[in-house]
Structure 1
Amino acid sequence: MAIAGDPDILSDFIVPANVTTIDASFFTFTGMRFLVPATTFKVSKISLAEFPALNGQSVSYAVLQFPTGTPNPPHIHPCASELIFLSQGTLQVGIVDTTNKLFTHTLQKGDVFVFPKGLVHSQYNADPQEPALAIPAFGSANAGTVSLPNTLFTTGIDDNVLAKSFKTDVATIQALKAGLAPKP
């Protein structure tokens, strides 16, 4: 068994080496003031990398913007559970447990859903007219995200290994990889 999580700290908070003055601004993140409607799925993170005051606090946040018909592809957070609040629209959510059982639900505005740490999950705005806005909280200052499509098809895993694993042919694997390649 492997256990991953944030270590407990022995002080109220951790001051980064490059910070000399601590005031209320240290505890304030202003990076979400300029959210604008997204035309593609967009994740705006508030994790340790963006907000150093989270160091040692075992929490982080994000804003997920789903234009109509967009998914957040299957992924995992290896270091934290996710608690997601839907503030606008509807959102289809699903998790797969370790017995490969799928649990799905359509969230309505105001609903909250939990994705347990390390389980594969995804979200999808199936509404053809209304965007969705979700706000997930994580039980880690750095939950980590492993996107399964990107991990499997953009990291250089041998095409033959993938073809045999998915019981398909190399041409299909190459087509999947081409579809995930960064746009020039």
Structure 2
Amino acid sequence: MKFNGACLVAILVAFSSVVVIYASDPDILTDFVVPPGQNALNLTGDFFTFTGFRGLPNNNLTGQTTFKVTKAVAAEFPALNGLGVSMAVLQFPVGSVNPPHTHPRASELLFLVDGSLLVGVVDTTGKLFTQTLTKGDLFVFPKGLLHYQLNMYAGHAATAVSAFGSANAGTVSLPSTLFTSGIPVDVLAKSFKTDTHTIDLLKIALKSP
């Protein structure tokens, strides 16, 4: 069978459309997704309400040293199932970092509520884009691209709110994925052009609190 140019273009466009559909949250055919075993007639406003963020923007982070994230995704907030949105509150004590990571199923729109953050995102050519955010700034991290946030500013914690274009954006943390997931030490040593002892030290460090 021979394909002319127009036919080939049509096939490629159709294939691209299928890829786009399966790369995002599927459309639902109802107003919202009712949890299994429940009746939509019995639901109340509580079903559409998430209270897990109460008080977070006013938390005192004095004495804390590590980054903390509180999520409102489908697992914690079932009403989000099928709606293609979710959120998270990010809290950064002084000197803390949200390590390099990706979200395979959604872009992230970060709004800085308080403090200042150094953020960065790396595109697929390896180019790093950085910015210093101050209170009230927005920064977008495109879906699937490696990015990070760092509070390097002495004396002031930072709080941000992130919105995602998926009810389950997913998070792939590079340090954890590489060094605590069970990838053989020899593979990591060769990949990073170092020795197995160095890799073992990294594994131990990442498993510690």
For normalisation by structure 1, the TM-score amounts to 0.95
Q: How does 1:1-184 map to 2 (within 5 A)?
A: 3=20, 4-20=23-39, 21-35=42-56, 36-38=59-61, 39=64, 40-183=66-209
C-alpha separation in 1, matches of 2:60 and 2:105: 29
Q: Give the secondary-structure state (helix, strand or coil) at the position aligned to 2:187.
A: helix
Aligned residue identity for 1:37: N
Following superposition, which runs of at least 4 residues in structure 1 exceed 3 angstroms of deviation? none
C-alpha separation in 2, matches of 1:46 and 1:103: 28
Aligned residue identity for 1:68: V
Aligned residue identity for 1:19: Q
The count of aligned residue pairs is 183
Q: Deviations over 1:90-114 (max 9, x none)?
A: 0000000000000000101000000
Aligned residue identity for 2:60: P
- Mark the structure with the bigger radius of gyration: 2
For normalisation by structure 2, the TM-score amounts to 0.84
Q: Give the secondary-structure state (helix, strand or coil) at the position aligned to 2:176.
A: helix
Identity %: 62
The alpha-carbon deviation at position 169 of structure 1 amounts to: 0.9
C-alpha separation in 2, matches of 1:19 and 1:61: 25
Query: Which protein has the bigger helix share?
Result: 2
C-alpha separation in 2, matches of 1:64 and 1:71: 10
Q: Deviations over 1:29-74 (max 9, x none)?
A: 1111143334121000000000000011000000000000000000
Q: Give the secondary-structure state (helix, strand or coil) at the position aligned to 2:35.
A: coil
C-alpha separation in 2, matches of 1:148 and 1:18: 38
* Higher relative contact order, structure no. (Cα contacts within 8 Å, ≥ 6 residues apart): 1
List gaps (5 residues or longer) in structure 2: 1-15
Aligned residue identity for 1:53: A
C-alpha separation in 2, matches of 1:143 and 1:82: 9
Q: Give the secondary-structure state (helix, strand or coil) at the position aligned to 1:163.
A: helix
Aligned residue identity for 2:100: P
**RMSD value, Cα:** 1.3
The alpha-carbon deviation at position 18 of structure 1 amounts to: 3.3
